[in-house]
Structure formats: structure tokens, C-alpha cells
Chain A
Amino acid sequence: MTGFVCPVPLHSTETVLLGHGSGGKLSSDLLHSVFLPAFANPVLERLEDQAVLEFGSARLAFTTDSFVAKPLFFRGGDIGSLAVHGTVNDLAMCGARPVALSAAFILEEGFPLSDLRRIADSMARAASIAGVTIVTGDTKVVEHGSGDGVYVTTTGIGVVPPGVNLSAAHARPGDAIVLSGAIGDHGIAMLSAREGLELDGEIASDSAPLNGLVEAMLAVTHEVHAMRDPTRGGLASTLNEIARESRVGIVLREDAIPVHAGVRGACEVLGLDPLHVANEGKLVAFVPMQHAAGVVKAMRRHPLGAEAAIIGRVADCDPGMVTMRTVFGTTRIVDVLPGDQLPRIC
């Protein structure tokens, strides 16, 4: 061989790829190679979905999220309700009571005002249901062709009640893992709307504000260790993050994880794994075993937790790894995807 022929591996890329936004390993690479070194500070480095800042005895939760949705309107919601729910949920996942949101819009020249009104009305409705107000905002307009109609960024603040101390690093061996309901609805609803797939059954996004459900859970016990909403990258990515941050092993039971028949069917056809499909109205919580039954009972009384179930437990073996006991009693790994989940050829 003359000289070094670069073989197959593409070790790095000098441009942004779509996969950098997938919530998988590429997203994590971007965070670790660009943003963490630039902004280095202890609050950010905790890598929670929100920052918790202390002011005297008060603790404020603070978070921000940008929303791009194709299509803008879909079964079960639209970019507006999604933008409110997403930020409300990021606040709720540290146990905070959401108080106020900001909303910033990047609009594309030529975007119909009727659609924008529809989105604003939807945001107002979602905020009212979640019990937050939208108190400040901003708009910018870009040239026709430079955006997908509208991008929305919401930022939120909330108050963390005393005695609540949730963190992705706090899961402990012996914790029960509680999931609030069936997975994959949002991702499949979006995919089917975007690609014009003619799927049987009408799958709607599960987009919803989870702060009420979280309040009901914390009313049972403040001793919930960790909570996350499994959005991009699905339940698999979220559980891998918690396993890594808490340095524990996670063992799931395949037969305990609820998946609606329509989502299962769509995933079969498309070669996707529901564990990797996005949710926008589900949470997964790590609860000490002695409180698990009580928490699940309280969740099931709430409309957003009717299908709540214990789906696994935290183990003290295989730290950082998520494994699953299959319906056959065998074991397999549940991994994070490198980038976006790609439909298979056959």
C-alpha cells in the first residue's frame, strides 16, 4: 500500500449533520466537543434537562428548548402546543412547579398569518391548561426559503418545592423504574404525517403537559430519585443517560413496557424500535421500591398516567448499561442509536 489510504471509518465531521439533532450519540458528541468546553460551568455540566439555581432558600428551575416540526400541524397537536409542553415538561422533570414562559418566533417571509394565529391560540390554550403564563417574547423574520415557516423557542422558569431533589445522577440500585404510559405515539404520528404513510389506525401525538402528573407523584413521596421525559431518541436514550449519569445498571422487562397496537404495527412495517421513537407526553421515574406501588397508584388516577407501569429496576451490575429481559426470558442490550433511526430496506 502506498501511503495511507483512509479506510472506511469517518472519525469526525467538520460540518453539522442532521444526526447531530437526533438526541443520539452524535448529539452528545456535539455537546461535548463544542458547547461544554465553551461554556464550562458546574450547573451546565450536570447535563440535566434544566438548570436549578439557588437564591437564598429558593430554588428556581430554568430551561429552554427550540422546536422545529414537520409538519407544523399534526394529529394531537401543533408546533405551538409542542413548544409549551416541551418546556413545561423539562421544568416538571426536576419536580418544579412551572411559573412563566417566554416565546421566541423565527418566521419565514410569506408564512400565512392565519397559521401563525392558529399556532399562537394553541400556545395560549396549552399554557392555560398547564397553568403557566407566557410573559415575554421575540420575533424575527428570515427571507423566503431560509426556514420551514416557523421555528419556536420557549424558555421557562419554575419553582422547586423544598425537599425535592431529582437528578439523572440520583438513580440507586433497588429503585423501581416507572413509566407513565405507552411509548412511541408522538414519533409515529409525526412520521406518518410527514411521509404521508397510510397507516391503519389513527395514531395521535401524546404531546401533553406533565406537571400535574408530577405533582400527584410527589404528593405520595418526595423521595423520587430521578425523572425524565423520553423525547428525542426515545425511552432507550433516556434510560441510557440515567444509567450513565447515575453509574448504575438498568434491567427492563419487555413484557411490562406498554406500546399501543398502532405504534407496534407501524414500527414493524418501518423496521423501527418503539424504544427509540420520540414521546412528548410521557415520563419515566426512578422510585425507591417501597414507594413504587403508591406512586403508580397515584399516577393511574391521573388522566396522563392511566397506563402507568413498573417496567424494570435498577441493578448494581453492568453500570452504565441498559439491558432487557425479553418475553422469552433471554437478555439483550438496549442501546442508544448513533443518529436518527433509519427505516430499513427490507
Chain B
Amino acid sequence: MKYLDEYRDSGVAHALASRIRARVTRTWTLMEICGGQTHTIMRYGLPDLLPKEIELVHGPGCPVCVAPLELVDRAIEIASRPGVIFVSYGDMLRVPGSRSDLFQVKAAGGDVRVAYSPMQALKIAAENPGRQVVFFGIGFETTAPANAMAVWQAKRQGLTNFSMLVSHVLVPPAMRIILRSPANRVQAFIAPGHVCTVVGFREYETLAAEFRVPIVVGGFEPVDLLEAIAMLVDQLEDGRAELENQYSRSVTRSGNGPAQQLMDEVFEITDRQWRGIGPIPGSGYRLRDEYAAFDAERLFGASEIRVQEPPECIAALVMQGLKKPVDCPAFGTRCVPERPMGAPMVSSEGACAAYYSYRRHTAEVAR
């Protein structure tokens, strides 16, 4: 398949792995930010190709995983109300809140629907004028433009029965938390290619300079990731700390201007709670006051919900690269994808779920 096969070519992959082996002189710890990248690394078994000096740790970039429990509870509460049509991306339906999940709301008679785009929710709202249609607007900078577009369109069309439960999160503030941590082990980052396609990489240049850390914007195919790792190893071995762009077929320095304009029109920066990590100042988007009429949180008088994460879960350590999923005593026993105990086991893109799905055999050997 064009535009895919060349990035999954075994010969190219092995050549990149040889280049990395030839260059590496000591151990290095690298973090890929995005859950999509973690998924590819595990699915293609890339750690098996790399020299043992290279350790990959997996970052907090799984939007489903970092959605806080209280947000899921709020979604469940809204979706359970009579007359509401609750529309969500598919993988949020299985995410457990403190007592239930959206699948169970659906089983109990709630009108919960899966969509591939927020525009579908807009269409449902136009077709059901007597019902309140709520879209679950979560994700990183990647999904923000589409969600902003839906809200902007709703306002333009004068819809009065469409709203969005917004909990967008932003990557750079999470990277700062990791880099500022006294226990930080991460020496270089693969920055998320899809996020940078939208917002560009200027902010990542600042991070590279401020923390003296090499950052390469990477794609999502196995060859992309191996090339990004090779570029990072070159930087580390050279003693450089720069921003480089491996994913140049999609990412430019300033990103997608019209998308950013739309996001800025609809959203403003706010503090956000990250599941498994905690509150991070200025780490998310919320709807601006001009769009308050479409804010499900204000519309449904979202009650204060406070819940507690299971104390046994080491999600925070996993998502900051301080522990591996297999270091957790609950991994694969009390915590499995159908009964996730914590954030990274929830979505297929979470680090623990990726380990469980693709690398349990080697995990067992490694123990």
C-alpha cells in the first residue's frame, strides 16, 4: 500500500537498527510521548531490534488513559439522564469510572452512541431537535481542531441542543512535569507527530533549549520510529540537544494555521487533572465564555465528583517513565485490559495495555 509499505519495510528497519547499534556507546533512556507510537513499538516488537543500551519508556500521550476518573463519572452521569443522546469516540465507552462505564449506561437504557467525528454528533443534534446531544470532547491537540469546528458550527447553525463535555489536554506541560521531576530518567524525547502536525514544533524547540534535552518529532510507522531513535542517539552521542523533525512529510515548524485559529477562537487554556499524574497547571483547553452555551459542564450543572484511584496502581510512575508496566505486581494478574486497575491498562494505546497485548511473553521471561 502506497505511503505505508515504505515505512514498514524490513530492510530499511534493519538498516536503521544497524546504524543505531554502530553509534551507541552507552545506555540511553528515550521516551516516546504518544500512545500511538507506543502501540507501534510494541506491535512491531521494535525493542527486539534495538541494542540493549537503548531503553524505551512510554509517555503520557494516551488521551483515553489520562482522562481523569471524575470526568468519566461526569460523562456517565450526563449520559444516564433521560432525553440525552451521549456521543463518544468508541474507546471511551469501556473506560471505567468509579462505579460503572458508558457500556453499562447503554445496557441500562441510556442512549450512548459511537461516532468517528464530532461532526456526526452535530448531525444527530440537527436530526433530534427535541433531545440534548452531548459529545465527549477529549484528546490532545490532535482532536482539538475537529472538536472546535463542531462547536463553532453549532453556534453558527444556532443549534440549542448540542453541547460538548470538554477535557482537552496538552502535551508540553506534561513534558515539563516529567523533566522537572528530580527522579527523571528520560534523556531524550520522541515528540508526537500528529500533535505537531496541528500546532507545529516551536514550543518543542523551547523545551529542547530550556532543558537541554534532544527532541525529535516522530511519525507512527515502525520505520519512522526507528529513524527518530537513530536521530536521538546521534544527538545524545554528539552531546547535542536540539529539536529535529523526522516526520517532515506531515509536520512543519508552525503547524496548521487555520486549525490553530479555530482552536484559539473556541478554546482557552485551563488547568487540567491528569489521571495517574494529578493536576497540571495550564495543561488543557476549555470552552471560552462566548461558547458557554455549548459547554456540557455548565449546562448540566456538573456536580463536584471526587474519587480515589486505587493505591496499588503505579500509573503515575509508568507514565513518567520511572517504572515499566512489568514492574507492577498487579500487571497481568489483578490488572488486565478487561478489568483495568489504572489508566495505562485502559486503552489499547496505554503502555500497560500495549505490553499486555503484544509483549506478555517477553515480560514473563524478563521477570
* Residues of A participating in the B interface, judged by any CB pair closer than 8 Å: 1, 5-11, 13, 15-19, 25-26, 195, 197, 261, 264-265, 268, 270-271, 318, 321, 323, 326-333, 335, 338-339, 342-346
Contacts and interface: CB of A to CB of B under 8 A. Distances in A.
B323 interface: no
Contacts of A197: 116
Contacts, number: 144
Contacts of B98: 5-8
Contacts of B45: 326, 328, 330-332
Contact of B339 (A5, A11, A268, A343): A11
B272 to A, nearest CB: 16
Given A327-B10, A330-B49, A345 B309 contact: no
A330 B356 CA distance: 16
B222 interface: yes
Q: Which applies to chain A's interface (DSSP): helix, strand, loop or mixed?
A: loop
Contacts of A18: 103, 106-107
A7 B308 contact: yes
Interface stretch (B87-95, B262-270, B285-293): B87-95
Interface string B308-322: 111101000000000
B309 A328 contact: no
Contacts of B348: 271, 344
A17 B139 contact: no
Nearest to B275: A8
Contacts of B99: 6, 10
B48 interface: yes
Interface of B: 1, 4, 8, 10, 13-14, 36, 42-46, 48-49, 63-64, 69, 89-94, 96, 98-101, 103-104, 106-108, 114, 116, 138-140, 142-143, 194, 222, 307-311, 313, 334-335, 337-342, 347-349, 356-362
B91 A345 contact: yes
Nearest to A10: B96
A330 B361 contact: no
Which 3 A-B pairs give the minimum distances between C-beta atoms?
A330-B45, A7-B310, A342-B90
Given A343-B90, A344-B91, A10 B1 contact: no
Given A10-B96, A13-B104, A323 B341 contact: no
Contacts of A1: 308, 311
A10 to B, nearest CB: 5
Contacts of B94: 19, 338-339, 342
Contacts of B13: 328
A15 B105 CA distance: 10
